[in-house]
């Protein structure tokens, strides 16, 4: 059984593959051309096409403390039938980004990804006799990314079962087999992910089977410090109405920016609700002010922020 730190480290490696962040990006909304999963969301990137995104959002909305449940619930039937029009619903995408600021959503994602990916991967690893943290991480990666059954079957046919050849040899062969499969795949989006196996191969070459910290994976530090940080792109404050928003250096960031941007989005303004008040935000606020006979300053005063936040 892995320790809590080893489990977090294994998850962090796959987070880096999925969102380039050690803790994952709970707010990340992705749409890759040619990806059969279509709209993809969250820390470990679950998809509309698989039906799992509907399950995640349904779990979130069922929690009485979910801040954005009333806004999300009208879209749940579309998620249930995997309606591909959601791929291009930019207002919904902004709502999903804002949900990451809600601790309930972050907790829901953690439990969801544990139930749907980590636990099945851990049970499979145990059944096969795979126990080292790095090897379990390899199994977990394929449960998140796909193709476990096909590539594990191919690996066993090539070298034999884990019990006969040993865990480390079997995993090394699995990584090599899966890399070749990814690198030559007919889908360009999958060919581009062969780096995942390169990262695992580097850890194997360095004999980091225990995933002892600190580690560097794809140029990012995984350590007790980085595993304890606040997840990137998640804002717990400032609350709307506690400050005016304008262009600064460094730029203003936070919950109030996100909610003001989301409010703009809901009025039909084309803006990405990323929680960062940059030059695009200035232009979009000017656009809103011009349309509503307000002084065109690009500055969002506390009254305007409160109004926009009330639309969410």
Structural domain includes residue 235: no
Give every CB contact of residue 227 below 8 A, 6+ residues apart in sequence: 5, 8, 9, 12, 22, 23
Q: Are 68 and 138 in contact (CB under 8 A)?
A: no
Give the HSE-up count for residue 137: Cα atoms under 13 Å, Cβ half-sphere.
31
Q: Are residues 56 and 144 in the same domain?
A: yes
Q: Are residues 260 and 119 in the same domain?
A: no
Q: Are 143 and 36 in contact (CB under 8 A)?
A: no
Q: Are residues 269 and 127 in the same domain?
A: no
Residue where a domain stops, chosen among 227, 262, 280? 227
CA atoms of 236 and 216, how far apart (whole Å): 28
Domain residue limits at 290 = 252-310
Provide the CATH number for the domain around residue 282. Answer: 1.10.101
In degrees, rounded to 5, the angle at the alpha carbon of residue 230 between the alpha carbons of residues 227 and 232 is 100
Q: Are 174 and 152 in contact (CB under 8 A)?
A: yes
Alpha helices by DSSP H, listed for 41-132, are: 52-61, 69-72, 76-80, 90-99, 103-113, 119-128
Structural domain includes residue 233: no
Number of domains in the chain: 2
CA atoms of 16 and 196, how far apart (whole Å): 9
CA atoms of 229 and 45, how far apart (whole Å): 20
Provide the CATH number for the domain around residue 98. Answer: 1.20.141.10
Report helix, strand or coil for 231: coil
Per-residue confidence (pLDDT) for residue 230, from 0 to 100: 86
Which residues of the chain have a pLDDT value below 70?
none
Structure-block tokens of residue 129: 């006799």
Structural domain includes residue 234: no
Q: Are residues 206 and 99 in the same domain?
A: yes
Q: Are residues 118 and 260 in the same domain?
A: no
Structural domain includes residue 232: no
Q: Are residues 208 and 259 in the same domain?
A: no
CA atoms of 141 and 191, how far apart (whole Å): 16
């Amino acid at each position: 059984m892995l320790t809590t730190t080893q489990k977090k480290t294994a998850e962090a490696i796959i987070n880096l593959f999925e969102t380039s962040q050690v803790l994952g990006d709970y707010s990340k909304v992705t749409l890759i051309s040619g990806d059969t999963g279509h709209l993809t969301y969250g820390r470990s990137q679950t998809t509309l096409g698989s039906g799992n995104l509907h399950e995640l959002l349904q779990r979130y909305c069922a929690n009485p403390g979910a801040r954005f449940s009333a806004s999300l619930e009208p879209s749940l039937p579309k998620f249930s039938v995997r309606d591909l029009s959601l791929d291009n619903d930019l207002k919904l995408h902004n709502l999903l980004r804002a949900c990451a600021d809600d601790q309930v959503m972050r907790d829901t994602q953690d439990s969801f990804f544990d139930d749907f990916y980590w636990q099945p991967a851990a049970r499979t690893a145990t059944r096969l006799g795979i126990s080292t943290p790095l090897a379990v991480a390899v199994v977990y990666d394929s449960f998140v990314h796909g193709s476990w059954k096909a590539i594990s079957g191919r690996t066993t046919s090539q070298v034999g079962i884990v019990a006969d050849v040993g865990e480390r040899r079997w995993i090394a062969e699995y990584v090599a087999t899966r890399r070749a499969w990814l690198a030559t795949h007919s889908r360009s989006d999958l060919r581009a992910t062969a780096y995942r196996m390169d990262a695992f191969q580097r850890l194997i070459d360095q004999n980091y089977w225990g995933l002892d910290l600190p580690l560097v994976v794809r140029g990012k530090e995984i350590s007790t410090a980085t595993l304890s940080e606040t997840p990137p792109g998640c804002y717990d404050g400032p609350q709307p109405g506690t400050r005016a928003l304008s262009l600064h250096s460094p730029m203003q960031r936070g919950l109030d920016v996100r909610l003001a941007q989301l409010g703009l989005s809901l009025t039909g303004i084309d803006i990405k609700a990323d929680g960062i008040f940059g030059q695009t935000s200035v232009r979009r606020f000017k656009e809103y002010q011009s349309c509503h006979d307000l002084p065109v300053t690009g500055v969002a005063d506390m009254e305007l922020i409160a109004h926009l936040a009330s639309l969410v």
